[in-house]
Amino acid sequence: MELLEKKVLIISSDIDRSTSEVLEWLIVKKQPFIRLNDNVCFDLDNIEIMQKQNKLVLKYNGEIIYLKNIKSFWYRRGSISVRNNIPDSIPNAVKIYLNEECKAIEAFIIYELDKLAKINHYGNSNLNKLYQLSLAVECGLNIPYTAIANDSSTVKKILLEHKSIVSKSIQASLNYQTKSNMYSLMTSKFENCDLDTSAANFFYTKFQPQIVKDFELRIFFLNKKFYTMAIFSQRNKKTEVDFRNYDFENPNRCVPYKLPVFLEKKLLKLMNKLDLLSGSIDMIVRGKEYYFLEVNPVGQFGMVSYPCNYYLEEKIAEILSKNENKKLKN
């Protein structure tokens, strides 16, 4: 009988350095792995759904991947799809039909892979941020007042009530490059003068009061533990609204932080409700108040790991290479 060592399957992107750092630890642990990059498109070899066990065999660039030989799955970046080769010449209705058939296969592949997920699920990797806020409240967390508006009269009312507000995107992020500039959509202050220059109606935008914070928290949740870093972004004009406007000359203070137990309990409850095994949680702190902003299920952890000496890359590798196959949650 052939003795096969089970592999770790990682779906990521070519430029993701954190993935590479985790993989180096897998090599140290002598754990074989398959890393696929940048919107992975599988060829399907075989699916059999049977009484005892499901059989799923995929092909990627000619290499055959047997699901039964995968011990754990880590979704990090990109999309997963199945090659369909639907000819252009066929009638539209048939195209739509074939596409739907393909989607069903994709969903099944993702379902099977997610069963092996130990860090992130593909299925809930893009959690609705509005839904997150509303669940956070259910878990007893504080959130900033949040409004979605697309007309200046509503915003005027919000401004009047909250004095100082910020605008941010509702869910997605926007980065694009022109010949001369790189544009990234950031959280920004929305002021009265912005009302004068903006049209009466504009695209749906999320508004929240600007909370003058003592500092913000970036929390990486992993294996039921919280690895927290405090970011002192408030003291710097450049970073007070969005710390991603990095000040490289005088970087924000980033130091380890210990969450109070009551807050850990609430966050754990939220992670369970969202069915997340890990994630990057953003919070802000003012006095004794903690405000939950959002959780990114596939968020960065290198920026927390490095300044706090948390060695998260190694911890992730350890989880991925663990042999027992028991489920971590529930």
Residue 251 contacts another protein per CB under 8 A = yes
Give min distance, CB of 166 to another protein, in A.
Answer: 23
Orientation of helix 129-138 relative to helix 261-273, angle to 10°: 130
Give min distance, CB of 25 to another protein, in A.
Answer: 5
Residue 235 contacts another protein per CB under 8 A = yes
Orientation of helix 17-28 relative to helix 312-321, angle to 10°: 60
Residue 21 contacts another protein per CB under 8 A = yes
Burial letters for 284-323: b for 16+ Cβ neighbours within 10 Å, e otherwise? bbeeeebbbbbbbbbbebebbbeebebebbbbbbbbbbbe
Residue 15 contacts another protein per CB under 8 A = no
Stretch that binds another protein, among 109-117, 120-128, 183-191, 305-313 (CB under 8 A): 305-313
Given candidates 13, 14, 15, 27, which one binds another protein under the rule CB under 8 A? Answer: 27
Stretch that binds another protein, among 31-39, 83-91, 128-136, 307-315 (CB under 8 A): 307-315
Residue 243 contacts another protein per CB under 8 A = no
Residue 306 contacts another protein per CB under 8 A = yes
Is the separation of the CB atoms in 75 and 125 below 8 Å?
yes
Given candidates 40, 230, 241, 319, which one binds another protein under the rule CB under 8 A? Answer: 230
Stretch that binds another protein, among 23-31, 90-98, 163-171, 190-198 (CB under 8 A): 23-31
Residue 253 contacts another protein per CB under 8 A = yes
Residue 316 contacts another protein per CB under 8 A = no
Given candidates 180, 309, 323, 330, which one binds another protein under the rule CB under 8 A? Answer: 309
Given candidates 53, 150, 154, 250, which one binds another protein under the rule CB under 8 A? Answer: 250
- 308/282 Cα distance (integer angstroms): 17
x/- binding map, residues 136-175, to another protein, per CB under 8 A?
----------------------------------------
Given candidates 60, 66, 108, 232, which one binds another protein under the rule CB under 8 A? Answer: 232
Residues from 254 through 273 that contact another protein (CB under 8 A):
254-260
x/- binding map, residues 191-220, to another protein, per CB under 8 A?
-----------------------x------
Find, among 254, 246, 247, the residue nearest to 227 by Cα. 254
Give the footprint of another protein on this chain (CB under 8 A).
21, 24-25, 27-28, 214, 230, 232, 235, 250-251, 253-260, 306-309, 311, 314
